[in-house]
Amino acid sequence: MKSAEHAVVGAVVGSVAALVLVGTSSLPVLAGFVAYGVLLSVFVDLDHFLLSRAVVGDWRHLRVAVTNPRIGLIEQERVFEGYNDVLRPRRLFSHHLVGGVLVFGLGAAGLGSLAVFSAVVLYAHVLCDYLRDLGYA
């Protein structure tokens, strides 16, 4: 999915999860959770560039995204052209890996609500990626 689509999913899922986890007792805390959910849902995709570096052996895809803002922001499906078949099955694995480490780390740091919130947002992100890959979304 594109970043804007993930931002919408992060906002919707983050809003519901924040209401369930922290309620409406503190509006700034609620807003912080929602903002974090949007950012997490969008920026978790940066792991694709690390994965691309590991598989391809250089930073060509990151260079494409950074030097051509149209491709990096609007035509994101073109960032990994020619390598989608190699990267697609690995990118969801990397999301699980990043998500697991993040959720475990937050839980170990005593931030249980934030850990659960992160798990919910990342679950929605990965589910949307699966749905897109399967042609349902």
* 24 pLDDT higher than 80: no
Both tokens of residue 137? 């979304």
* 113 pLDDT higher than 90: yes
Per-residue model confidence (pLDDT) at position 98: 95
Per-residue model confidence (pLDDT) at position 1: 85
The pTM score is 0.91
Q: Which residues contact 120 (CB under 8 A, 6 or more apart)?
A: 13, 17
> How far, rounded to the nearest angstrom, does the alpha carbon of residue 43 sit from its chain's CA centroid?
5
Closest C-alpha among 43, 40, 38 to residue 7? 38
Per-residue pLDDT of 55-65, as tens digits, reads 999 999 999 99
What amino acid is encoded at 3 in this protein? S
Mean pLDDT of 26-32: 92
